[in-house]
């Protein structure tokens, strides 16, 4: 493996994920139905002026706006009420909307998921938080057997408008059971939509769309990006969402986006891996290579058209995810690209992922996570004629 010395991307870039690129590079070196409570009078809330906004704040604003827009929306989970969540994503919601709309539950993930099914059957729109990625596994039977299958089981008669928020992936030095990349479990379960934002704007828009969806959505929030900032106007985002169908359409047909244009190869990433891919593309530019970066955003449904168009243009591709490589989302993306772009490819599609081991201890996670160096090494292996 090479030991490249990379430098920071242009400080003047306004790309939404550039705010997290420096941190990524640093890590390489070290509705109304039965039982719905009535709305409570809201306390005055000062408007948020345009300025640097964290992903955590954008998610909080999305939840607040959804609660205000629909009396059927309820938010619950472990420590989401009084505490405001471990990462403070639900901060202030219980005080503003009341403990009937935002409340704490026992530490029983299976019960949380099961209760959300009953609420959804009765016309509510539950948004539940699993607190940490690996904490969600006790709820998986409920998710796979009931949340994912109920609409199909009833021939569409019973919708499942449930959002399951899961803080996931690494980069925070979390101990065992506090960091995991579990997206493949959910992506492999028919009936679930799987979404993971990488930018502040997408965090707001996609969460609003997920809450409005009549299908269950696994909303995977990259923990290490919670406090990445971007200059956005939350009021403008609210207006954008409520006046258009873009984010909703993304949940129906897939919503990948080109985060950086390039001509020589395509880096395909999502969620926590996107800032690392952007940092690698910036470093590659200094070496004379132009890399395009595609942000998948919606793992299920997957946007084959956007991804395939980029790879057909560049003729080479590297898929980057933090999960283990075997039987992974990265493996599925690689197969789909290989199938759709076979006659355009100048080299096999390569992957840069976590290793096929249990998630490592905090002091070792920087070896496990994809890095700029590992990505650039993969790009070097794309059978260049020179």
Contacts of 130 (CB under 8 A, 6+ apart): 77, 78, 109, 112, 136, 139, 164, 165, 166, 167
Residues 286 and 7 sit within 8 Å (Cβ to Cβ): yes
Out of 146, 177, 178, 367, the active site residue is 178
CB burial of 154-166 (b: ≥16 within 10 Å; e: otherwise) equals: eeeeebbbbbbbb
Q: What are phi and psi of 106, to 5 degrees?
A: -60, 165
Residues 340 and 360 sit within 8 Å (Cβ to Cβ)? no
231 backbone dihedrals φ, ψ, rounded to 5°: -85, 100
Please list, in sequence order, all residues whose beta carbon lies within 8 angstroms of the beta carbon of residue 106, skipping any fewer than 6 positions away.
none
- Find out whether 138 and 191 touch, Cβ atoms under 8 Å: no
Q: Is 178 an annotated catalytic residue?
A: yes
- Cβ–Cβ under 8 Å, residues 220 and 254: no
Instruction: Answer yes or no: are the C-beta atoms of 86 and 167 closer than 8 Å.
Output: yes
Residue 290 CB-half CA count within 13 A: 8
Q: Yes or no: say if 163 and 126 are a contact pair by the CB < 8 Å rule.
A: yes
Residue 68 has a CB neighbour count (10 Å cut-off) of: 16
**Can you state the angle between helices 246-253 and 200-212, rounded to 10 degrees?**
70
Rg value, the chain, Cα:
20
CA dihedral (314, 15, 278, 207) positive or negative: negative
DSSP notation for 254-321? ---EEEE--SSEEEEE-GGGHHHHHHHHHHHHHTT--EEEEE--EEES--HHHHHHHHHHHS-EEEEE
**Which are the catalytic amino acids?**
178
């Amino acid at each position: 493996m090479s030991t490249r010395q990379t430098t920071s991307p242009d400080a003047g870039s306004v790309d939404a994920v550039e705010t997290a690129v420096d941190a990524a590079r640093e890590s390489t070196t070290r509705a109304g139905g039965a039982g719905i409570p009535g709305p409570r009078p809201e306390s005055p809330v000062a408007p948020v002026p345009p300025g640097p906004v964290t992903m955590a704040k954008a998610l909080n604003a999305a939840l607040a706006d959804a609660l205000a827009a629909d009396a059927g929306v309820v938010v619950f989970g472990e420590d989401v009420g009084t505490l405001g969540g471990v990462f403070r994503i639900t901060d202030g919601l219980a005080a503003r909307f009341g403990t009937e709309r935002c409340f704490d539950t026992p530490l029983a993930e299976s019960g949380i998921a099961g209760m959300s099914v009953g609420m959804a059957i009765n016309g509510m729109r539950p948004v539940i938080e699993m607190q940490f990625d690996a904490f969600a596994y006790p709820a998986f039977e409920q998710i796979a057997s009931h949340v994912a299958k109920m609409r199909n089981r009833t021939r569409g008669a019973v919708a499942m408008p449930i959002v399951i928020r899961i803080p996931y992936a690494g980069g925070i030095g979390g101990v065992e059971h506090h960091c995991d990349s579990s997206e493949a479990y959910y992506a492999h379960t028919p009936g679930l939509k799987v979404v993971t934002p990488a930018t502040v704007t997408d965090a707001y828009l996609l969460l609003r769309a997920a809450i409005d969806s009549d299908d269950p959505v696994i909303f995977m929030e990259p923990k290490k990006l919670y406090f990445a900032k971007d200059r956005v106007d939350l009021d403008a985002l609210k207006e954008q969402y409520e006046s258009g169908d873009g984010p909703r359409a993304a949940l129906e047909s897939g919503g990948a986006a080109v985060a950086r244009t390039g001509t020589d190869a395509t880096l395909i990433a999502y969620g926590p891996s996107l800032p690392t891919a952007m940092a690698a593309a910036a470093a590659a530019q200094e070496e004379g290579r132009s890399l395009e970066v595609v942000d998948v955003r919606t793992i299920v449904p997957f946007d084959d058209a956007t991804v395939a168009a980029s790879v057909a243009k560049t003729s080479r591709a590297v898929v980057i995810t933090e999960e283990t490589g075997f039987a992974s989302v990265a493996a599925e993306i690689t197969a789909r690209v290989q199938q759709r772009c076979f006659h355009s490819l100048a080299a096999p599609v390569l992957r840069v992922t976590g290793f096929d081991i249990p998630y490592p201890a905090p002091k070792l996670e920087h070896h496990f996570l994809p890095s700029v160096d590992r990505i650039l090494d993969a790009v070097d292996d794309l059978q260049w004629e020179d």
